[in-house]
């Protein structure tokens, strides 16, 4: 009796290579990889569509590893915001110490936008999701208030006590409005963003007095050069006039 031909064993299935963004993120700790994975996913889809499996897969980790680091997607976002805080706090310039409070805060918030620049698409996605999700908006506001307490402190503006909390809440709302301009500002010099930030700081002084010093700053930011150089040039011209 003829022997049946041996069945060929199927070739082993190969797992699809992770996206380039995930591979790049794998150079850090598991925590770093998870944070970067969520930010990458946010640049591609709304927050409410991102599941734990998506985050773990993009980070190249198991669900158990993801759970060992974070309890929720909001916790991952909070960790990302904390890292942005750390970068801003570590990047201060000593030459701002003698500047008025409004200038110091302007400098701090512009440095924050610089730190956020690799995540602009993710920030745009979060802004859209929070506009239709009150729960997410509330959670992001809480994170923003805590973050802005550090930004006020970095600008040497008191952020403790009831008045400090009012300043932090006002600054969180102010910065959210500036972000709405920043995500669509295609100018490398961020002229629109700078003008929006200046207007918001002036408005904040009027309605809450959350700055102790008042410094009149022109709103023309269309000259070439870095934003710090432009600010100083405008102020020098004002002083000479």
> What value, to the nearest 5°, has the Cα angle with vertex 34 and ends 31 and 40?
140
The answer on 98 and 65 residing in a single domain is no
Does 79 fall in a domain?
Answer: no
* Same domain membership, residue 26 and residue 131: no
| Residues 47, 73 contacting (CB under 8 angstroms) | yes
Residue 231 counted as domain residue: yes
- Can you give the pLDDT at residue 108? 96
Are 111 and 119 contacting, i.e. CB atoms less than 8 angstroms apart? Answer: no
Q: Are residues 64 and 156 in the same domain?
A: no
CA distances from 90 to 12, 33, 87, 110, 135 (A): 49, 22, 5, 14, 32
CB neighbours (10 Å) of residue 7? 6
Give the number of C-alpha atoms closer than 13 A to the C-alpha of residue 126, restricted to the C-beta side.
27
For 15, 64, 78, 116, 142, the CA distances from 146, given in Å and listed in that order, are: 41, 29, 10, 17, 6
Residues 109 and 205 in one domain: yes
Provide the CATH number for the domain around residue 29.
Answer: 1.10.10
Whether residues 207 and 108 fall in one domain: yes
**Domain range holding 204?**
94-240
**Alpha-carbon distance 43 to 120, whole Å?**
8
The answer to whether residue 2 is domain-embedded is no
Let me know if residue 200 belongs to a domain: yes
Please tell me the distance from the alpha carbon of residue 101 to that of residue 210, in angstroms, as a whole number. Answer: 10
Residues 32 and 128 grouped into a single domain: no
Q: How far apart are CA 132 and CA 86, in angstroms?
A: 29
Residue 157 lies in a domain: yes
Q: 31 with 123, same domain?
A: no
| 3-class SS letters over 138-165 | HHHHHHHHHHHHHHHHHCCCCCCHHHHH
**224 and 166 both lie in a single domain:** yes
* Tens of each residue's pLDDT in the chain, 241 residues: 444 444 343 343 333 334 444 444 446 899 999 999 999 999 999 999 999 999 999 999 999 999 999 999 999 999 999 999 999 999 876 677 778 888 999 999 999 999 999 999 999 999 999 999 999 999 999 999 999 999 999 999 999 898 889 899 999 999 999 999 999 999 999 999 999 999 999 887 766 555 444 333 333 333 344 555 666 666 666 566 5
Going 44 to 49 to 51 to 54, the CA torsion angle's sign is: negative
- Shared domain check, 165 and 49: no
CA distance 68 to 71: 8
Establish if 111 belongs to a structural domain. Answer: yes
How many domains does one find in the chain? 2
Residue 125 Cα distances to 43, 45, 47, 119, 133, angstroms: 6, 7, 7, 10, 12
Q: Is residue 76 part of a domain?
A: no
Stated pTM of the model:
0.75
Are 134 and 219 found together in one domain?
A: yes
Q: Residue 81: inside a domain, yes or no?
A: no
């Amino acid at each position: 009796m003829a022997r049946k031909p041996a069945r060929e064993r199927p070739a082993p299935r190969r797992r699809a290579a992770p996206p380039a963004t995930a591979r790049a993120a794998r150079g850090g700790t598991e925590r770093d990889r998870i944070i970067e994975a969520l930010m990458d996913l946010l640049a591609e889809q709304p927050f409410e569509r991102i599941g734990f499996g998506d985050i773990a897969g993009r980070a190249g980790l198991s669900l158990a590893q993801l759970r060992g680091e974070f309890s929720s997607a909001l916790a991952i976002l909070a960790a990302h915001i904390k890292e942005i805080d750390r970068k801003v706090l570590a990047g201060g310039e000593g030459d701002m110490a003698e500047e008025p409070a409004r200038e110091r805060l302007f400098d701090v918030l512009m440095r924050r936008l610089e730190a956020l620049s690799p995540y602009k698409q993710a920030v745009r996605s979060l802004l859209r999701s929070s506009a239709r999700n009150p729960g997410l908006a509330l959670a992001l506001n809480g994170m923003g208030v805590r973050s802005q307490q550090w930004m006020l402190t970095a600008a040497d503006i008191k952020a403790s006590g009831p008045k400090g909390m009012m300043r932090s809440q006002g600054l969180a709302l102010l910065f959210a409005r500036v972000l709405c301009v920043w995500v669509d500002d295609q100018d490398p010099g961020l002229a629109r963003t700078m003008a929006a930030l200046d207007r918001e700081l002036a408005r904040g002084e009027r309605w809450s007095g959350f700055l102790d010093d008042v410094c009149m700053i022109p709103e023309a930011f269309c000259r070439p050069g870095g934003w710090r150089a432009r600010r100083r040039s405008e102020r020098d011209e004002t002083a000479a006039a």
